[in-house]
Each structure stands twice: as structure tokens, then as C-alpha cells.
Amino acid sequence: MTGGRRRRRPRRRESCAMNIAFIGLGNMGGGMAANLVKAGHAVRAFDLSTEALARAAEQGCTPCASVEEAVAGAEAVLSMLPNGAIVKAVLTQEVLGVAPKGAVLIDCSTIDLETAREVTLLAREAGYPMVDAPVSGGIAAASAGTLTFMVGGSDEAFARAEPVLEPMAKAVIRAGESGAGQIAKMCNNMLLAVHMIGTCEALKLAEKAGLDPQTFYDISSKSTGYCWSLNDYTPMAGVGAASPADNDYAGGFAAALMLKDLKLAMAGAEGAGAKVPLGGHAKAIYEAFVESGGGGKDFGAILTTL
């Protein structure tokens, strides 16, 4: 696997307006599509939800009644979909052969590595450059245009995809060849899950042992306990940085989605022959939490189980 080409954003490069199809306007996709419109692109959008389509129209997208309608005439097709099976079905049944040959396909969904590589191969065989480009940053970053894109694909496909991704990003990083973006995403989110569980345990231990949690935050956030889960997304209400914890864990990154990502990471570890005991333990913790009814709450709500 090769990689390492990085694009950060203090300044965006000038780019020509493009015709872009955007498939999947959920919590992430809606904000992403809106930022493409703000950058001057013509965005034709599709989602199964009429409410999502209406919100996209308010942001300047052209709502479409089908994927086929959205991709007609597109120079780039972006997708942000729930799982690999849906990505494969949409691509093979509604995009390939309908979108103009040569349109760059950019799948921003978080899916399994095998499917990511399979659909890229199918796209190439049909005459379409394609990248897998999962994201990090959450709903707020999707709306603000400050996502990090981890991109897998050939140099040529990356070069085509990069200017499309830049209006939505603080960083666009080529991780390597096809599937490398998904590898980066599964490793990143496994690490995030481990960090979040540790942060929750430390905050509750401090509280139960008699130390004010805010005082613990003030100390640990400036010492070796520093991490994003503590400093920027503190999972205890009224302590540290604002987060969904301050809204009874509503919004944010759902625990069910974290469990999905951990399952992908465990499958990836098995396929690679890698030992990830903490990742496996994190999966078990989130699995129990989701099965107990917490799947819709932000993943920081693990704190409420301690």
C-alpha cells in the first residue's frame, strides 16, 4: 500500500464549477452537499427521505426523484450510504452505465474493505475512476466543511476526486490504493472507541474517588491524558468541552454507528491476522450498550453505564 499525499486547508485552490450528483442526504450527507453548493457546484441530490430532499433543496441542491435522474450528466458522483450492500446495489444497478463514462465516483460511506475494493474494480472495468473516501469529523464538521477525508484509489482517481472533496474538508489525504481509505477509517474509529471508553472510566473514577470532574479535566486535558474524547468532546455533562453529553447524549455520533465501525474493524483484523484485544473489548462494551437500548445515543453515553 502506498500513500501519504496530503492536502490541508488554509487556502482552497480555485476550481471550476462542476455538475455533481450526491446520493444519500442523511446527517452527514446533507451538510456535505450544502458545502458543495456553497463552493459553486451544481448539485443534483437523491435520498429515499422526502424530508432530506426538502432540506437539500433549501440549501440549493436540485432534488431528484431517482439515482438515475441525479447522475445523468454528472461529472462526479458522491455517495454517503449506510452499508456495503447498499453501496454495491446503488453502484451496479443505478450508477454504472447511467452516469457519463469517465465521471469520477467517490464513495464516502464507511463500509467493509472487501466491498470497497470490489466496487472500485467494477467501476474501473466499466470505465469510471473511483475512490473510497470515508470521513472523520462528525455532523458538525460535515456542516462546517471541516471533515477529514481518508482516500483510497489510484493517483489518477485521487487527482480527479480531490477538488470535489476540498470544499467539504479541512484535510484530504490519500491513504493509498483502493480500500486504503476504509483501512484508515476502521483503525481510526477503533482507536476513538478505546479512547472514549477510557475517558469515561477516568472521569467516573475521579468523581467517585472524590475529585471534582472539572478539576480532573483541567489537569488531564493539559497532561498525558490529553485526547480528543476528553479535550474536544468531553462525555460528562457540564464538564470540559461542549458535547452531546450536555444534551442528554442526543445527536452526535450514535453508539450503533460506533458498533458498526467496530465490527468492521474486527473483520479487518481477522482478515489481516492482527491481534486487537482492546478493540475487541471495546466492541463488546458497545454491543452490550446497543443491545440494552442505547444505540441511538451518542457514543459518549457509555459514561452512563459506569
CA pair distance 18, 7, nearest whole angstrom: 20
185 is catalytic: yes
Q: Are 299 and 255 in contact (CB under 8 A)?
A: yes
Which strand (E) or helix (H) includes residue 45?
strand 42-46
Write down the catalytic residue from 38, 101, 170, 185. Answer: 185
CA pair distance 64, 147, nearest whole angstrom: 25
To 10 degrees, the CA torsion angle through 182, 12, 15, 160? -20
Give, to the nearest 10 degrees, the angle between helix 113-125 and helix 180-208: 150
To 10 degrees, the CA torsion angle through 68, 72, 74, 76? 20
Active site residues: 185
